[in-house]
Amino acid sequence: MTQSAPDPRHDPVLIAEVVAGLAPAPGEVMVDGTFGAGGYSRALLAAGADVYAFDRDPDAIAEGAPLVAANDGRLHLIAERFSRMEEALAERGVGPVDGVTLDIGVSSMQLDRAERGFSFQADGPLDMRMEQDGQSAADFVNHADEAEIADVLHHLGEEPRARRVARAIVAARPITRTADLAEVVRRALGHKPHEKKDPATRTFQAIRIHVNRELEELEQGLAAAERVLAPGGRLAIVSFHSLEDRIVKRFLRERSGAMPTGSRHRPDAGAAGPSPSFEAVAKPVRAGEAELARNPRARSATLRVARRTAAAAWPVSYKGVPS
């Protein structure tokens, strides 16, 4: 059977660069940790690889069924967080893999569907849950205390006036719609219609990351990828903001032995650490003008690629050198 046509709802960012970094070959086994609309998986399948794709969003799993059927057993779609890829692959008898890719954060599919509540571009219920289960964004803004909301906005949204926004949110409760939350934030920050960036962007980012525990998921997912990759296996990570990229950059610097070696004020804590588990860490890649014109979402994307060594995966408890 032939593969189905690319899904016009989702143009994967840096697709050519991700595929080049993963260098899939016929018969190799690749993990697409963030299936979404299947863009990366399609490209890997087209190169002849077998793909184990993960997504925690039930909509992505359901809508990926035709692609599974079109690929004669070469695509395995798994309803699971990518942080659990090691356990999920082991349950299926899959050994070390040749490549892992992760496209971090919210997908275009999720953003474009007002009923999912991820965006203020169109009004919808204040939800933001990738798994469609557990605490929603509305639960958080309506029940958390002001100090907790301010902390989330400051640390996860890098909102400089987090306390003012948190105070406004508490005063406006209950808030159940994305448009209502966006308007509360705009009023609190004195938004002017001509301003290029909507000030609600930082608040929506922070609440989404908090509700879905995205940074914890990323940290655990990187460690899981380290454990499932075979020697010589390739890792390709696309991130979309500084909080994500900082985690990926530090992970690869640490695991490749490129962390600072200390000084007379800070002894060399890394010298006796584990052997480097990654090498050939490439310089970060960003989208070119042609892709930006075609896909504006790529503007904030950063790709980092590295190759697995034969060294053992680092212990989960190992913290390395403070940054």
Residue at 225: amino acid letter: A
Residue range 242-249: mean pLDDT, rounded = 97
Q: Would you say residue 161 has pLDDT above 80?
A: yes
Tell me the mean pLDDT in the region 207-216: 97
Write the CATH number for 193.
Answer: 1.10.150.170
pLDDT confidence bin for 318, thresholds 50/70/90: low
Sheet architecture: strand order including 29-32: 75-79, 50-55, 29-32, 97-103, 229-239, 302-308, 278-279
Mark the binding-site residues for S-adenosyl-L-methionine, compressed into ranges.
38-40, 55, 82, 103, 110
Return the percentage of the chain with pLDDT > 90, whole number: 81
Distance between CA atoms of residues 210 and 159, nearest Å: 14
User: What is the number of residues in the chain?
Assistant: 323
Calculate the CA 180 to chain-centre distance. Answer: 27
Residues 6+ apart with CB under 8 A from 151: 162
Inform me whether the pLDDT recorded for 6 exceeds 90. no
Q: How many domains does the chain have?
A: 1
Q: Would the pLDDT of 111 be above 90? A: no
| pLDDT score for 1 | 41
Q: Does 207 reside within a domain?
A: yes
Of 250, 244, 282, give the one whose Cα is nearest residue 23.
282
Phi, psi of 52 (to 5 degrees): -110, 110
> Please, what is the average pLDDT of the chain?
91
What is the average per-residue pLDDT within 145-162?
A: 98
- pLDDT given at position 125: 97
Per residue in 93-106, pLDDT (tens digit) is 999 999 999 999 78
The answer to whether residue 155 sits within a structural domain is yes
**Binding positions:** 38-40, 55, 82, 103, 110
pLDDT tens-place string over residues 218-234: 999 999 999 999 999 99
Dihedral of the alpha carbons of 32, 85, 64, 177, in degrees to the nearest 10? -100
Say what the pLDDT of residue 316 is: 80
Contacts of 109 (CB under 8 A, 6+ apart): 9, 10, 36, 37, 57, 59, 60
With respect to residue 174, please indicate whether it lies within any of the assigned structural domains: yes
Domain that holds residue 134: 109-212
In a domain, 223, yes or no: no
> Is residue 135 assigned to a domain?
yes
Supply 43's token pair.
């490209």
195 has a pLDDT exceeding 80: no
Q: Which helix (H) or strand (E) holds 46?
A: helix 39-46
Assigned domain for 73 exists: no
Percentage of the chain surpassing pLDDT 70? 91
Dist CA 175 CA 159 (whole Å)? 20
User: What is the reported pLDDT for 321?
Assistant: 40
End-to-end CA distance of the chain: 50
Spatial distance between the Cα atoms of 236 and 111, rounded to a whole number of angstroms: 23
pLDDT in tens, 19-37: 999 999 999 999 999 999 9
Name the DSSP letter for residue 274.
P
Residue 3 confidence (pLDDT)? 46
Pairing of the two strands 302-308 and 229-239: antiparallel
- Predicted pLDDT of residue 8: 41
Q: Is residue 280 part of a domain?
A: no
Q: Is residue 91 part of a domain?
A: no
